[in-house]
Amino acid sequence: MTNNRNKRLLWQIPFLVFLIVGTIIIIRQQHNMPYQKCAGSIFGTVYHITYQYDDDLQADLVAKMQEVDSALSMFNENSIISHINRNERNQPNEMFLKVFEMAQQISDDTYGAFDITVGPLVNAWGFGFKQSEMPSRQTIDSLRTIVGYHKVRVEGSKIVKQDPRIILDCSAIAKGYAVDAVAKLLDDKGVANYMVEIGGEIATRGISEKRVPWKIGVTKPTDDPMQEGGELQTVINVTDKCMATSGNYRNFYYKNGKRYAHTIDPKTGYPVQHNILSATVLSNKCARADAYATAFMVMGLDSAQKVLERNPDLMAYLIYDKKGENHVWYSPALKEKIQK
């Protein structure tokens, strides 16, 4: 009996040695594999991608972002969304329809706080492509007749608008979706360690080139729009997660002594006046994090907390004003990820 056991152990030793040696070789290869970097401009913003891989994937990464750009970018006059907005060709591809349906679902979940038809109101207040005088009550009321996510739908394979003047703007979800698309490309290539950042929206996997988890800072809100960088409010471990931040504190203007934030409430037609200064959202998908971060800026603290309760894949770090002082609320599940 003892001899049989010893024989089995002797047969297992070579396997264990092979396993150990193989593991050492894989770890050594990972340490020797370079971290590549890719940076540039797209969607009217900048991107930075860091990934560990033997080959240069820049051409593939840029092609994937251009694919999203050709479907969803309002900065591209030949994109699908631009043609739809001009009531020209109405041939949305699978990518466009997927983002459109996701946007509509999030609009339902946030009671219209997230709305991809709000663009005309944003422009009227001077935060979009056009700079104009402060809009009148009559102008706001007129524009509200062509704003509302329920006024546009998919019928067959086409986008149907109740009014041809309705404008679609996926800016608050397209960057996040592009991050997801690039991250999927890297996953499909077998890339174990990467960070994708497009216009501040982020997805990460594995570890950084410093062999530590990916950590991203959340900037402390300030009323100084000229201040670069800024002091960090906190640092969050975002490894294997996606993160998006929306805030009013860097995009606003003063008119007649009153401060107007760039986040417009689709229901009222006016800039939001509640107390959230910055909304950072983590999720498994950057498109969701992107859209919900925008929605929370519109909804305010109490309503945002209720949405978080029914969406367990979301975590949020919310900075808000209370009697002139900044305060923080964050999802309980986020506690272990906060590094500072």
Closest by Cα among 266, 8, 314 to 114? 266
- How do 276-283 and 315-322 pair as beta strands? antiparallel
Distance CA 258, CA 309 (A): 34
pLDDT of 58: 96
Q: Residue 301: its pLDDT value, please?
A: 93
Specify the pLDDT at position 338.
92
pLDDT at 268: 93
First CA to last CA distance, the chain: 59
124: left (phi over 0), alpha (psi -120 to 50) or beta: alpha
- Predicted pLDDT at 207: 96
> Which two structure tokens, joined as six digits, stand for 210?
């410093």
For 183-198, give the DSSP string.
HHHHHHTT--SEEEEE
Amino acid occupying residue 147: V
CA distance to 44, 167, 186, 269, per residue, from 152 (Å): 25, 10, 34, 18
> CATH homologous superfamily of domain 39-337?
ApbE-like domains (3.10.520.10)
Block means of pLDDT (10 residues each) for the chain, length 340 residues? Answer: 54 54 46 88 94 96 97 94 93 95 98 96 74 81 96 94 96 96 98 97 96 92 57 92 84 56 86 86 98 95 96 96 88 90
What is the rounded distance in angstroms from the CA atom of residue 28 to the CA atom of residue 31? 5
Whole-number pLDDT of residue 25: 41
What is the C-alpha to C-alpha distance for residues 245 and 290, in angstroms, rounded to an integer?
A: 7
As given in the structure block, the two tokens for residue 48 are 């930075």
Radius of gyration for the chain, computed over Cα atoms and rounded to the nearest angstrom: 24
